[in-house]
Amino acid sequence: MKQKLGVAAAAIAVGLALAPAAPAVAATTATIEVPTDFVPDRSDTRATGHYEVVGTGLRLWTEGSASSDKVAEYVATNTALTAVGEPTLEYSNTSGGVPGFQLVVDFDADGNDDGILIGEPGVYGNDWWLNNAAEEFVKDGAPSHTGGYGSANHGTLDQWRTAFPEAKVIAFGFSLGSGVKGDGILNAINFAGTRYTFRAPAAVVPAVPSAEADISCGKVELTLGNVTAQPGTTVNEAASFQFVVDDQPAGSADIAADGTASKVFEFAEDTGTHAVSVLSGGAVILSFAVESDCLPTVLKSKDECKQDGWKTSTAPVFKNQGECVSSFASAKKS
C-alpha cells in the first residue's frame, strides 16, 4: 500500500506590486533595478536628495535649494557616442526644477572618463553643455565656446560627435540639482534606442523547506525542497534537513536555494513498524510510520482499479488502470 504525505514550512514575505509599464516609444525596452544597477562610485545623491521606485517610474525629489539638495545616479554602459541617438528623459514634473540628462564620456577612447555632457532641453534645446570639471583637452575641442549656456563649452550631440568621433559613453543617468528644489516622476530614460523603466529588487524571503514522503511496504522515498511559490521573491539561503529513524539520527541533507533533493530509506522484511521524522531548523516538519510486515494488497473488483486504486495493488502490480480493469475481465471469462 502506497501513500503520499507532504508538508511545507510556513514563511512570511512582502510582495512587491508593480504598475503596468507605459507603452514603449523606443525600439526596445529594458528595466533598471534600483539601486542595484546604479554605479555606486558615480552616485552623487546627497543628504537632502532622494529617489524611490513608484510603479515603473522613479520619483526624484529634493528638500530645498542648498548644495546638499541633489539626486544624481548613473547606469554603466559602453556605447559609442555616435550610437546614442538623442537621449531623453520622460519626466512628469510635480513641482520645482526638473532633472537633466547626463552622459559620462570617454572622449579619447582611452578607458577613462574625461567629462560629462548635460542635456537640458527645456532650457537649452538640443544643445549639450560640458561640466566644468572636464579634462582641458575636451574643453579646448568643444564645438562652441560662447556664453549663455550651462557652460562656455557646448554644442549639439552631432557637433560633439564630429569633434570627438572616437568618443565612448561609459555611463548615462540623470541629475536634479544641486541647489534646486524639485519633485516629480522619472517615467523612463531613452538611451541608444532603448527605453528604460524602473523596478525595485525582488523581495527576499528565508528558505522554505518542504518534504514529501512516498511510502510503500518497507520503503519510503522522500522528496525534499527549498523553494518559494510567491511571485516577485527569491530564496536566498540553503535549507538543512535532519532525519530521525526509530528515535536515532539517520543523516542530514543541505539543499541550495531553489533546489530539490531525494532521500530513500529501506527496511528489512518482517522488522516491524519504523518511525521516521524529517526536521528542518530544529523543528519536525514531517513524521510517519513505515510498515515492513506487509500483507499483499489484492483488489476485489474492477471498480477498485479506479481513482488510482490500481496503484495500491501489490499482488499483482499493475502498470496502469487499463491493465487492472482488463485483469478482472480476463478472470471473468475464464
Domain ranges of the chain: 3-13+204-291, 28-199, 302-333
Contact 211, 284 (CB under 8 A): no
Predicted local confidence at residue 5, as pLDDT: 57
How far is CA 51 from each of CA 44, 47, 199, rounded to the nearest angstrom?
A: 12, 11, 12
Dihedral angle of Cα 69, 116, 100, 175, to the nearest 10 degrees: -30
Closest C-alpha among 292, 287, 76, 298 to residue 192:
76
Closest C-alpha among 249, 242, 246, 236 to residue 263:
242
Distance (Å, whole) CA 43 – CA 40: 5
Write the CATH number of the domain with boundaries 3-13+204-291: 2.60.40.2560
Contact 103, 169 (CB under 8 A): yes
Distance (Å, whole) CA 196 – CA 25: 10
Predicted local confidence at residue 50, as pLDDT: 98
Predicted local confidence at residue 318, as pLDDT: 92
Contact 112, 137 (CB under 8 A): no
The total of other beta-carbon atoms located within 10 Å of residue 291's CB is 16
Residue pLDDT tens, the chain, 334 long = 445 555 544 332 222 222 333 343 446 999 999 999 999 999 999 999 999 999 999 999 999 999 999 999 999 999 999 999 999 999 999 999 999 999 999 999 999 999 999 999 999 999 999 999 999 999 999 999 998 899 999 999 999 999 999 999 999 999 999 999 999 999 999 999 999 999 998 776 777 889 999 988 889 999 999 877 666 666 677 889 999 999 999 999 999 888 899 999 999 988 999 999 999 988 999 999 998 887 788 899 999 999 999 988 888 889 999 999 999 887 666 5
- For the chain, the straight-line distance linking the first and the last C-alpha, in angstroms and rounded, comes to 28
Contact 294, 3 (CB under 8 A): no
Backbone angles phi, psi at 267, to 5 degrees: -125, 140
Which sign does the torsion angle of CA 100, 101, 102, 106 carry?
Answer: negative
Closest C-alpha among 212, 208, 243 to residue 5:
212
Dihedral angle of Cα 315, 321, 326, 329, to the nearest 10 degrees: 90
Distance (Å, whole) CA 5 – CA 105: 61
